[in-house]
């Protein structure tokens, strides 16, 4: 099953507004591409993302920093940050109902305006709640995310995500595709009033545009799909295992989070970055040796299990095994 449709832009798109404050101005990427995923390996299952019955729990991580955590093992998480002057929200979740849950959680904490909403990638489960946020909320995203959404429709994204919701397309009812207003290239930052927030793009990962939101003073990062939660492994959905590793190394060289709130899964420590790099190192070397020994790609990946040194959240073992075999397929292709 294809989890997302391939996108190829034929022209450059720019959405940086002329009224952006100087501190927010940044270069934009000319265009973007989402690679077509390969056929899934044996045992692969789509990520279970159906928002039916999900209640997001608010967890305060530090003064003014909050995670919104799903009550199911791999459904989407989100977050929000409160400064002295304004509020910033991280991802709008799956649809208007879930987006409203986030707004209600903000309002339970503060009456300050929700001035910014950050979209961490172009997948519907991270952006389809955009339309319920106030009209004056400025939406920020990597320019590649904006480019991809600009040539998308709710119906098209819903069809490509149907496997993640058990075919229940009614979860997309009422969704209106609201595009981000401001695009950035590598970094965007804002001061909410005694609280600086950064948004980084370190390179391609699970998708080409995965972005990380970071509080440098508090050392808290929201990593969306670039790093999943504690006791997980990455998913090189778009291929580029070596590129994914390089992205994570750049992340480790640039920021130093103590706490990681992933887009999916449990809150993790900053050590998760090094765990992911180690895992990708391992599978790239394994793929290289398999290719040298003339092992076929199917023999290399079809029945593979995750090395026990990478402890996996028990409820996610089947999902992560599918991710692992997918990753091995990608690493093997790169080794040829």
* Residue 278 β-bridge partners: none
Amino acid 36: pLDDT: 57
Amino acid 37: pLDDT: 61
Amino acid 4: pLDDT: 34
Amino acid 255: pLDDT: 98
Give 193-250 pLDDT, tens digit per residue: 999 999 999 999 999 999 999 999 999 999 999 999 999 999 999 889 999 999 999 9
The fourth-level CATH superfamily of domain 7-335 is Ribonuclease Z/Hydroxyacylglutathione hydrolase-like (3.60.15.10)
Residue 267 to residue 69: CA distance in whole angstroms: 9
Residue 239 to residue 218: CA distance in whole angstroms: 33
Amino acid 21: pLDDT: 34
For residue 118, the number of C-alpha atoms closer than 13 Å in the C-beta half-sphere is 30
- Judge contact between 199 and 140, C-beta under 8 A: yes
Residue 123 to residue 135: CA distance in whole angstroms: 21
Nearest 10 degrees: Cα torsion 325, 327, 333, 336: -100
- Judge contact between 160 and 2, C-beta under 8 A: yes
Inter-axis angle of helices 317-335 and 271-292, nearest 10? 50
Measured in whole angstroms, the distance separating CA 316 from the mean position of its chain's CA atoms is: 18
* Residue 183 β-bridge partners: 141
Q: What are phi and psi of 300, to 5 degrees?
A: -70, -35
Measured in whole angstroms, the distance separating CA 67 from the mean position of its chain's CA atoms is: 15
Amino acid 32: pLDDT: 34
* Residue 94 β-bridge partners: none
Full pLDDT tens readout for the chain, 336 residues: 333 333 323 232 333 332 333 333 333 333 333 445 678 999 999 999 999 999 999 999 999 999 999 999 999 999 999 999 999 999 999 999 999 999 999 999 999 999 999 999 999 999 999 999 999 999 999 999 999 999 999 999 999 999 999 999 999 999 999 999 999 999 999 999 999 999 999 999 999 999 999 999 999 999 999 999 999 999 999 889 999 999 999 999 999 999 999 999 999 999 999 999 999 999 999 999 999 999 999 999 999 999 999 999 999 999 999 999 999 999 999 998
CB proximity list for 155: less than 8 A, separation 6 or greater:
none
Domain range annotation of the chain: 7-335
pTM: 0.89
Residue 103 to residue 97: CA distance in whole angstroms: 10
């Amino acid at each position: 099953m294809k989890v997302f449709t391939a996108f190829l832009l034929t022209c450059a798109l720019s959405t940086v507004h002329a009224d952006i404050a100087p501190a927010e101005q940044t270069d934009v990427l000319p265009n973007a591409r989402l690679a077509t995923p390969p056929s899934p390996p044996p045992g692969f299952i789509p990520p279970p993302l159906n928002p039916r019955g999900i209640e997001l729990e608010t967890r305060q991580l530090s003064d003014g920093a909050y995670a919104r955590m799903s009550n199911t093992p791999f459904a989407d998480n989100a977050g929000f940050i409160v400064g002295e002057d304004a509020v910033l929200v991280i991802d709008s979740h799956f649809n208007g109902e879930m987006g409203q849950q986030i707004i209600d959680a903000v309002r339970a904490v503060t009456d300050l305006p929700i001035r910014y909403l950050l979209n961490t990638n172009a997948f519907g489960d991270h952006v389809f709640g955009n339309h319920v946020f106030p009209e004056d909320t400025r939406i920020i995203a990597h320019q590649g995310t904006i480019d991809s959404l600009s040539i998308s429709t709710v119906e098209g994204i819903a069809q490509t995500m149907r496997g993640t919701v058990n075919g229940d397309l009614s979860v997309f009812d009422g969704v209106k595709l609201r595009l981000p207003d401001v695009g950035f290239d590598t970094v965007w930052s804002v001061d909410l009033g005694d609280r600086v927030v950064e948004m980084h793009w370190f390179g391609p990962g699970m998708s080409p545009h995965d972005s990380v939101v970071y509080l440098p003073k508090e050392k808290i990062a929201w990593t969306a799909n670039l790093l999943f939660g504690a006791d997980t492994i990455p998913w090189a959905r778009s291929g580029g295992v070596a590129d994914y590793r390089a992205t994570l190394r750049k992340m480790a060289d640039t920021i130093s989070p103590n706490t990681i709130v992933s887009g999916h899964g449990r809150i993790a420590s900053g050590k998760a970055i090094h765990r992911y790099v180690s895992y990708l190192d391992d599978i790239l070397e394994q793929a290289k040796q398999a290719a040298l020994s003339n092992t076929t790609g199917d023999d290399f990946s079809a029945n593979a299990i995750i090395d026990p040194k990478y402890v996996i959240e028990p409820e996610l073992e089947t999902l992560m095994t599918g991710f692992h075999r997918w990753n091995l397929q990608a690493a093997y292709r790169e080794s040829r």
